[in-house]
Structure 1
Amino acid sequence: MAEAHQAVAFQFTITPEGIDLQLSYQALNQIYLSGVRSWKKRVSRMRNSVIKGVYPASPSSWLFVVIAILATMYMRSDPSMGLIAKIQHSYLQPDTGDCSTSLTMVSALVFSTLLWLSLILTLRFCLKLLLSYHRWMFEQHGRVSTTTKVWVVRLLSGRKPLLYSYQTSLPHLPVPAIKDTLTRYLESVRPLLTGPEFERMSELANQFESTLGNRLQRYLKLKALWATNYVSDWWEEYIYLRSRSPIMVNSNYYGMDFLYVTPTAVQAARAGNTITALLLYRRKVNREELKPTRVPGTVIPLCAAQCERMFNTTRTPGDETDVLQHWQDSEFVAVYHRGRFFRLWVYRAGRLLCPREIEFQIQRILDDPSPPQPGEDKLGALTAGDRIPWSQMRKQYFSSGVNKRSLDAIERAAFFVTLDDEEQGMKGDDPAGNLDRYAKSLLHGKCYDRWFDKSFSIVIYKNGKNGLNAEHSWADAPTVAHLWEYTLATDAFQLGYTEDGHCKGEVDRSLPHPQRLLWDIPTETQVTSSLAVATALADNVDCHVFPFREFGKGRIKKLRISPDAFIQISLQLAYYRDRGGFCLTYEASMTRLFREGRTETVRSCSNESCAFVKALEGGEGAEQCRRLFRLAAEKHQNLYRLAMTGAGIDRHLFCLYVVSKYLGVDSPFLKEVLSEPWRLSTSQTPIQQMELFDLKNHPDFISLGGGFGPVADDGYGVSYIIVGEDMINFHVSSKYSCSDTDSHRFGVQISQALQDILALLTPETKTASSNSKGPAQTQSKKLL
């Protein structure tokens, strides 16, 4: 319909007297305004390129240098020490009189510009050296060295940066020494292996180091000299894009709405504000108006490269590998409702529609009574099943005609929106169970009512609750969490709603209707088989979400312990009680202190954490257990620092393995390391923009965070978010098919472990663990 609306701008008829040309000036004006918006964006990008190109200096500093040079020359002094005259005689035509004066001025301008560029390069080099300094991370709290103090002052003295101002000044990720990596690896697996097993692994590692390892390391160092980041491109390709299994559950992850609050119960209104907030965020990204993300609690910038593909991006399937496609801009979003797909234009004449207008358009979709076309209702299942059938289907049925045009509309959309016909959230007589169903709905839905290939999909439920599902290959969870924090805060506190729950603003009722996408789906397509694969996968996922309210980071920090270390050691204790042993544990850490950095693994199961758990469970004295706990916490923090500063284990070993495959050589050591299962996969969702949420005046606006599916068939996936001072929200996942795992049982173990460790560290405090009722009963009562 939008195409038909634009077509009337320009009509003509052929008559005996000639061609009768008719123009719609209103439509042409809208075309003109759209062009103006496009050119404004181009000019803005050019301006930002200049500003960030000379950062930490400013473009106006060029004028200061020119004036300073000319003023010095006016005072009969030559600041260039003869270079200006040399430029004039060597590169410009010498002359006499006024022309000679003009040439001298031109030579002075050339010299000033060269001097200015040299100063910029020097400043950028110094900034890169500053950002390469990571010793501050290893200093004890309250004992900051003089070097670090001077370094922080210098880092703070720069101008106000744009989103990408620091990009070219960030250091490259270093390649660790192979001996250091192997030593740390053997230390990490020592508590998981018996004596003979450890001896065998040590022998394999030594053999690898003395033979193949150094050869592979040389290739890796060569790549590190040539590439911006020696890990990220291989990580994106081989871990994500080359995977042929379903990305639903296995790769994609989800984010939830507020725990206690739903700003409006009107589905269309919530969609209007959510879509508007996301597009406002996109505008900030395009204009680079977002502040660079920093290490929490510091001024240290993090790489912002992952923001580039946040919008207008989709993952397209291939037979051997998928491809990430990104478009520069998109003026519409794709919407799914009850088996129908729509294209919703969110700009008109270069103007972003207001929330009330988007609500009006969404309501039109909700009120549309037309049924799905044959094969349309479950079409999204293709993105939820195995990748090879989807790739073959795409080539066979979506490479031309009406199917290609409709598929392009979905893939080129800014993002995907699902108007779900169910209600979700912590509601009704079973709030705990409803939270679990809410998580499963966001993780996989009905397996066909999401478009899992999009960079992210927004889900708006019938009762106004919302959430998102994000594809993993283009970015990691902190980047999406930053977007989602802004969206929730802007929706609730900036855009707001009227008293009757509708969006604010006026409606232009002449807006063209959302465009229904058309399909011609043959009956022999693989939609049914893809849906069967996805449904089996979804039905096997056991999700459990619970808010832990007994205490939060406030109590933990009073003990002078890192909250993350406290939680990770509690997870080790919980797993030991649940499974009777220890396992290889994955905790995601970031390497965004480096350019194009993504993640590194913190192997949270250490000798120290295992020693503490064994001592506690073995009934050793409280003082000895407290000592061992603090050693374990310090060890965990050190492992986290090493991972963040490029001295991790797993990405280095992964890249060595990739090089070995390119060279066509086999390494028994690398093969065994890369095949080890992560039975406990964990991740913290950080709150990065606390200034957006006033928990003091609005304590109910608490984020639930997000989660992901289990990594191993016989393991757990655990995500947690530390909210405020007194709450930690947990997301636990496992598979029903494994009789040894149970997400609810593990959730109870986590709660009990947290309380037991706090009781150990604060013996004078009466905690919930001393009560006769178990933590599950306590939580259930509080939820009700």
Structure 2
Amino acid sequence: MARLLTKSCFRRGDAACSPFCTLLRAYSTGSIDTEYLQNSSIPTMYFQEHLPRLPIPKLEDSIKRYLNAQTPLLDSEQFRKTEQLAKSFQNGIGKQLHEELLLHDKQNEHTSYVYDYWLDMYLCAREPIVLNFNPFMSFAPDPQPEYNNQLIRSTNMVVSAMRFLKTVQAGYLEPEILHINPDKRDTQGFKNFIRFVPSLLPGCPAHMANAYPMDMSPFVWLFNSTRLPKLNRDELVADENGKHLLVLRNGNFYVFDVIDKDGNIVKASEIHAHLQYILSDATPAPEFPLGYLTSEERNTWAVLRQKLLENGNEEALKKVDSAVFCLCLDDFPIKDDVHLSHNMLHGSGMNRWYDKSFSIIMTQDGTAAVNFEHSWGDGITVIRFQNEVFRDSTQRPAISPQTLPAKVDSSQAIQKLVFHLDDSLKSAISIAKKKFDATMSSFTIVPMEYRRGGKEFLQTQKISPDAVAQLSFQMAYFRQYGHTRTTYEACSTAAFKHGRTEVIRSASVYTKKCSEAFVRNLSKHSVAELRSMLQECSKYHKQLIQEASMGQGYDRHLYAMKCLRESNGLTLPEFYQDPAYAQINYNVITTTTLTSPAIHLLGFATPVADGFGISYSMHNDSMVFNIGAYTDRDVGQFVQCVHQSLEDIFKVLEEKTVKSCSKNSTRGN
């Protein structure tokens, strides 16, 4: 069972602690400016206990949504069979499973009905986590060019990360709140109002103000944690007592304390000196770099880790596992965004430890990114961390280019970890490296920026920017392959207690109709007809977003019932054995979106061999995509098809706009 809200750091910042006490503690330490990022008037976990629970949709609603998602993927005969199985399931064994799930949910009110099943999905997967699960998000450059230096930026980011850790532990981090009307509600007045609401009912007034507090529980796993390989199911572990940073450089492992014996952050000048020492260390790369083992198939890695323990490496591995996080220092600059994506997503394998909750990767030219293990949490937690660290490290950096490192004996403060390897372990590392190199050579990732327009223009056209991005993927695939395939868009359900994600099934009858019109019959349709199709796609997509974000998708509901049935050792109903059910869960187009001033680029790999993994950001006047695929797919052609699809869409919208402006001008004469 996963540890949920039991960490002592959150007991120090729970709802029972008044904002006054929080403020008093901060100032009584005399260190609020140097030790913390912020001092929220609302404690970090103020809303947590009273977050709404993730709802279980009505079975008939989930079946209806499931069939809607199947419609564009199946021919009439296939759909008839699938519909018959779905209706039989809904009126038969599905009713029983749904009732059992409701009972299971009632018996586990501390969490969500799907949390443990979803965690198991990650931890029971036996594929290597690199490419298959770990994503990356790269930081934007520091606005001051002279700070984009590996040593300076590493020092500043480590200090800011430690400030974030201490801010969370003390309960000073402002709770994440989704404001529907941020200009009106994301104000100090709202915060002053909500902090005086009785702690038994903090969520209700926020909801009335169209403000939705988000689940903060994943922050418990952000620091000092790692994923341990175990046979058949991995384990998440954390050690709150760890005060040291793990640094990897040239495949070598170093640790040094970043929190002192009194619980304060080690002086920035000392961290500066220690990192300078590591960067100047002339030790060559090890002949058998241990990091490759974390890229192995999980059962293989579990067996090898046990051998490492038996070979006398327990203390060294404990240091790795309990480190606050991992800092990877790479001895080369970034050439371009393609190089950036490959390096931050997987790198060479030598200078990484993929099992850590997250790693900050810093190259020679100060290009930085976070690569994170996915089982413990989702992008919404990591982006909060990156936003705060970017803001703090750029607006109040701990050191400057003129700062001199402290005169300390770093050779005594830093411990270089030594691992004892027998011949079987050396052989295993060599095998892991060969497999890693072969896999990475088969993977391609291509960034693309579309500059004709972005969300600002689309919003003036009353068209959902996300709907346009998703439609461009549908049209691109249809243009390249001539048919529609399963599409997965991740949607956060963090507005609910222990919510993770739901799926937006963006391939619909509307996107299929639109794709056919734009790709095959463009000349047969008027601008008005094409625009009407775009509006239909947008309207339906916004409906799907709303349903998913409110826990009213169908994927997690059907998945949880399936897991419940399997956990009881019973045969799955015919509904789950339908090839169409397997097909819709084989996500050929997997997508996620995130936009932040702190983020330059994000990316992940496709989970299936013949698919595309697409991350994208929507800016006011542009769209940025990062599209990955294996050699089974021509990713370059797909990127071109996405670009052409966007050109076609914008041409229609702009033509309508030009005509409208022309008419208005005529009326005015």
> Is residue 202 from structure 1 mapped to residue 83 from structure 2 by the alignment?
yes
What is the CA-CA distance between 1:257 and the residue it aligns to? Answer: 2.6
- Aligned residue for 2:292? 381
Q: Alpha-carbon deviations, 1:595-639, whole Å to 9, x = none?
A: 000000000011112122222331222111111211110100001
Q: Alpha-carbon deviations, 1:363-419, whole Å to 9, x = none?
A: 1112222345663xx100110111111111111222563x11111111100011111
- Aligned residue for 1:307? 219
Distance 1:372 1:540, change over 3 A: closer
- Counterpart of 2:414 in structure 1: which amino acid? P
Give the 5 Å matches for 1:475-494.
Answer: 475-494=377-396
Which of 422, 431, 445 aligns to 2:332? It is 422
Size of the aligned set, in residue pairs, is 593
Question: Secondary structure of 1:53's match?
Answer: coil
- Aligned residue for 2:123? 241
What is the CA-CA distance between 1:173 and the residue it aligns to? Answer: 1.2
Task: Indicate conservation of the 8 Å contact 1:319/1:388, yes or no.
Answer: yes
> Is residue 642 from structure 1 mapped to residue 547 from structure 2 by the alignment?
yes
TM-score (norm 1): 0.72
Which of 155, 163, 169 aligns to 2:50? It is 169
Distance (Å, rounded) in 2 between the aligned partners of 1:581 and 1:349: 62
Give the 5 Å matches for 1:199-598.
Answer: 199-227=80-108, 228-237=111-120, 239-258=121-140, 264-295=147-178, 297-298=180-181, 299-350=211-262, 351-371=264-284, 375=288, 378-399=289-310, 401=312, 403-424=313-334, 427=335, 434-495=336-397, 498=400, 501=401, 504=403, 507-510=406-409, 512-525=412-425, 526-598=428-500
What is the CA-CA distance between 1:537 and the residue it aligns to? Answer: 1.8
What is the CA-CA distance between 1:553 and the residue it aligns to? Answer: 1.3
- Aligned residue for 1:681? 590
Task: Indicate conservation of the 8 Å contact 1:360/1:507, yes or no.
Answer: yes
Distance 1:624 1:186, change over 3 A: same
Give the 5 Å matches for 1:37-186.
Answer: 48-49=13-14, 52-53=15-16, 160-186=41-67
RMSD: 2.4
> Is residue 734 from structure 1 mapped to residue 639 from structure 2 by the alignment?
no
What is the CA-CA distance between 1:191 and the residue it aligns to? Answer: 1.1
Distance 1:423 1:43, change over 3 A: closer
Distance 1:265 1:160, change over 3 A: closer
> Percent identity between the aligned chains?
26
Distance (Å, rounded) in 1 between the aligned partners of 2:648 and 2:554: 31
- Aligned residue for 1:430? none
> Is residue 744 from structure 1 mapped to residue 609 from structure 2 by the alignment?
no
Higher relative contact order (CA 8 A, sep 6+): 2
Question: Secondary structure of 2:253's match?
Answer: strand
Question: Secondary structure of 1:191's match?
Answer: helix
TM-score (norm 2): 0.84
Question: Secondary structure of 1:705's match?
Answer: strand
Which of 187, 195, 199 aligns to 2:68? It is 187
Q: Alpha-carbon deviations, 1:681-703, whole Å to 9, x = none?
A: 1111143xxxxx6xxxxxxxx73
- Counterpart of 1:476 in structure 2: which amino acid? D
Q: Alpha-carbon deviations, 1:64-106, whole Å to 9, x = none?
A: xxxxxxxxxxxxxxxxxxxxxxxxxxxxxxxxxxxxxxxxxxx
Task: Indicate conservation of the 8 Å contact 1:603/1:639, yes or no.
Answer: yes
Distance 1:332 1:472, change over 3 A: same
Deviates more, 1:258-267 or 1:313-322: 258-267
Distance (Å, rounded) in 2 between the aligned partners of 1:274 and 1:585: 36
What is the CA-CA distance between 1:263 and the residue it aligns to? Answer: 5.1
Distance (Å, rounded) in 1 between the aligned partners of 2:476 and 2:179: 28
Task: Indicate conservation of the 8 Å contact 2:127/2:298, yes or no.
Answer: yes
Question: Secondary structure of 2:623's match?
Answer: strand
- Aligned residue for 1:81? none
Distance 1:534 1:675, change over 3 A: farther
Task: Indicate conservation of the 8 Å contact 1:277/1:487, yes or no.
Answer: yes
- Counterpart of 1:276 in structure 2: which amino acid? V
Q: Alpha-carbon deviations, 1:276-314, whole Å to 9, x = none?
A: 111111111111212111225442211111111111110
Task: Indicate conservation of the 8 Å contact 1:309/1:474, yes or no.
Answer: yes
Q: Alpha-carbon deviations, 1:555-582, whole Å to 9, x = none?
A: 1111122221221122222221122211
> Is residue 626 from structure 1 mapped to residue 531 from structure 2 by the alignment?
yes
Deviates more, 1:489-498 or 1:249-258: 489-498
Task: Indicate conservation of the 8 Å contact 1:455/1:471, yes or no.
Answer: yes
Distance 1:553 1:535, change over 3 A: same
Distance 1:372 1:632, change over 3 A: closer
Distance 1:492 1:609, change over 3 A: same
Distance (Å, rounded) in 2 between the aligned partners of 1:455 and 1:258: 21
- Counterpart of 1:381 in structure 2: which amino acid? Y
Stretches of structure 2 that go unaligned for 5 or more consecutive residues are: 1-6, 23-39, 182-210, 660-669
Distance 1:203 1:597, change over 3 A: same
- Aligned residue for 1:656? 561
What is the CA-CA distance between 1:160 and the residue it aligns to? Answer: 4.4
Stretches of structure 1 that go unaligned for 5 or more consecutive residues are: 1-41, 61-158, 428-433, 688-692, 694-701, 768-784
- Aligned residue for 1:763? 655
Q: Alpha-carbon deviations, 1:438-489, whole Å to 9, x = none?
A: 1011111112311000001111111221112110000011211111122222
- Counterpart of 1:467 in structure 2: which amino acid? A
Distance (Å, rounded) in 1 between the aligned partners of 2:93 and 2:389: 50
Which of 575, 580, 604 aligns to 1:669? It is 575
Question: Secondary structure of 1:763's match?
Answer: helix
Distance (Å, rounded) in 1 between the aligned partners of 2:172 and 2:260: 23
- Counterpart of 1:754 in structure 2: which amino acid? L
Distance 1:44 1:624, change over 3 A: closer
Question: Secondary structure of 1:335's match?
Answer: strand
Distance 1:43 1:760, change over 3 A: closer
Distance (Å, rounded) in 2 between the aligned partners of 1:260 and 1:412: 29
Which of 497, 512, 517 aligns to 1:610? It is 512
